[in-house]
Amino acid sequence: MKRQSGPFMTIIFACAAALAAMIAPLHAPLAQEDPIHLVALGDSLTAGYGLPQDAAFPEVLERALKARGHNVEITNAGVSGDTASGGLERLEWSVPDDTDGVILELGANDMLRGIGPAVTRKAIDTIVQRLKERNIPVMLAGMYASRNLGPEYTAKFDSIYPDIAQKHDLVLYPFFLEGVVGNPALNLPDGIHPTAEGVEKIVERILPTVETFLARISQR
């Protein structure tokens, strides 16, 4: 059989190359989406006081979210002893501009020190406002006042978080220590900071709210 040559074969090769170019992308690996970068901005409850680094709240939460299929990275920006005002002072360098969202957990030390709720409210509200101005969404992790501080203080402090969440349309987890506070088996000997098991319990309970927050971020 005589081998074909000339213009006819040129056309055949061109068609084959075009077809290969169309088919190749179908077999190429799918591009991976960039991870969602979260910053956990908080105090010792976020930092992981008394615990190994991999047992701190942000690390445990990141693992739990990844196990559920979420592509996330969480930076631990917790500082032991920090008040809400302290968090405000370090906000700019604690939360970089490429942050996709912030989980804000502050106020426990304000309450323990008896700082006026109006001071705490103003600091947390200012943090939220500044992050909004930078187009960074916030999930607010709330705190309840110890009942031995009296009904007036308790009422003013407890209302800080739902009020700010409503004002700024934030995802709110009402009480960060839900299911852990007051349980000796889940707290260190100081009765304030959770053990590794306590952190696991916190993450288990807060996980659905964080997933709601991630969904809101993804819809932006």
Q: How many CA atoms lie within 13 A of 89 on its CB side?
A: 7
**Secondary element (H or E) of residue 75:** strand 72-78
pLDDT of residue 28: 35
Domain boundaries, given as residue ranges, for the chain = 36-218
Q: 114-157: per-residue pLDDT in tens?
A: 999 999 999 999 999 999 999 999 999 999 999 999 999 999 99
The label of the residue with tokens 């943090």 reads: 127
Residues 6+ apart with CB under 8 A from 120: 83, 84, 85, 107, 110, 111, 157, 160
- For the segment(s) 36-218, the CATH number from 3.10.200.10, 3.40.1010.10, 3.90.1170.40, 3.40.50.1110 is 3.40.50.1110
The label of the residue with tokens 């402090």 reads: 157
Give the mean pLDDT of the chain: 89
Active site annotation includes 70: no
- Per annotation, catalytic residue among 43, 44, 82, 94: 44
Burial of 70 (0-12, 13-18, 19+ CB in 10 A): middle
Is the pLDDT assigned to residue 5 strictly greater than 80?
Answer: no
- Per annotation, catalytic residue among 5, 27, 97, 190: 190
- Per annotation, catalytic residue among 43, 82, 158, 193: 193
Min mean pLDDT across 9-18, 26-35, 160-169 is at 9-18
- 108 touches 144 (CB < 8 A): no
Q: 31-44: per-residue pLDDT in tens?
A: 358 999 999 999 99
Active site annotation includes 159: no
- 176 touches 206 (CB < 8 A): yes
Question: Distance of alpha carbon 62 from its chain centroid, rounded?
Answer: 9
Q: 67-108: per-residue pLDDT in tens?
A: 999 999 999 999 999 999 999 999 999 999 999 999 999 999
